[in-house]
Amino acid sequence: MQRHIPFGYCVAQGKAQIDPENSQVVQAIYTAYDNGASCNAIAKDLTAKGIRAANQKAVWHCCMVGKILENQKYLGDGFYPQMVEEALFQRVQNRRKERAENWGKQTP
């Protein structure tokens, strides 16, 4: 199943809205990463807590966390309301870039 709605949002009456429960998970992911946790550690923690991912399974992988961390929709746009503060989003992007460079990975 392919999802077009980012995790933490739902659509009601044709408008994107913040899903209160899942938006707390998104906030926790950004905060944990900003505080030094790796994507892998965050995924393991979410899985251990039994939190359901977008696929409705209580199993998380580091790539799922990474997709949430890189998704600019959380900053808000014409359709999606803002869920993550811009300063936090930018700190996370800077840290992701720094970590990628330290591991010798190319970043766009």
pLDDT (tens digit per residue) in 37-88? 999 999 999 999 999 999 999 999 999 999 999 999 999 998 999 999 999 9
Distance between CA 49 and CA 34 in Å, rounded?
20
pLDDT (tens digit per residue) in 11-24? 999 999 999 999 99
Could you give the domains of the chain?
9-96 (3.90.1750.20)
Distance between CA 78 and CA 85 in Å, rounded?
16
